[in-house]
Structures are given as structure tokens and as C-alpha cells.
Amino acid sequence: MRHEFLESAVKAKISFVATHCYSHNYISLAGLADPVYVETLEKRLNKLGAKFYPVHLKANNEELLKRVSMNSRREFRKLKSKKIMRTLIPNHDWQNSPDLKNNLVIDNTNLSPKKVAEMIITHFKLKPD
């Protein structure tokens, strides 16, 4: 369903930013592996003429544990429990990146959101608003 939603936005010429918590070894309940999901999404959106700018943000496990309890996560209904995160870390590969064209990988463990945004803008030669 997500593919159809994003494809509809592209067809309607709507610009958007889509996020996805990528785990290299994750397989959904429907049997779809994350690498296949993002590679398929890239192909389908590019076929429609979309500009697809993949960015893999990653941080070390200590930083992930620190960030999981930050107040900003509550607003977006994200996981906020260090206890749960500790059980997820050994089972999910958030470090390896998908095989996507022009994929920008940024270890943002020690970078500010502003610095990361600047790196993305520079890499993809975007015009900031």
C-alpha cells in the first residue's frame, strides 16, 4: 500500500520526503526483506520520473540507546523505551546500507541535525528553502 501511496504522490507531482527505519536483515510479516523493499521503491519511483535521493542515517548503538528516550520521539509516536531498544539492537542490522544508486550514507553519531542537512543538500546539489 505504501508503494501505491508514494506512486500516486509522484503522479500528482507532489514533492515529499519519506522516511523508513531501514534494517538490513529485517523481513516484514508479509515476507518482504528491507533491501528488496527499498530497491523496489527506488525502481518504481524512478520509472515514474521521481527524483529519488536515498540517505541512510546511522549511529552507533550507544547513541541509539541515548536517543531512544529523547522527548522529540514522543511527538511522532516512536519507540521511547531503552529496555525495548536493548532487545532490538542485537537482532537488527541498522549499520549496513541498501544497494541503491547514489545512496548517501552518513554516520550521524556525533553530528547535529543541521550539519547532516547541509551534507545532504551538498551531496545531492539541492536548493535549500
Count Cβ atoms below 10 Å from residue 43 Cβ, excluding itself.
13
pLDDT in tens, 52-95: 999 999 999 999 999 999 988 888 889 999 999 999 999 999 99
How many CA atoms lie less than 13 Å away from 55 in the CB half-sphere?
18
pLDDT band, very low/low/confident/very high, at 129 (cuts 50, 70, 90): low
Return the domain boundaries, the chain: 2-124
CA distances from 86 to 57, 63, 124 (A): 19, 12, 34
| 14: its cell numbers | 507532489
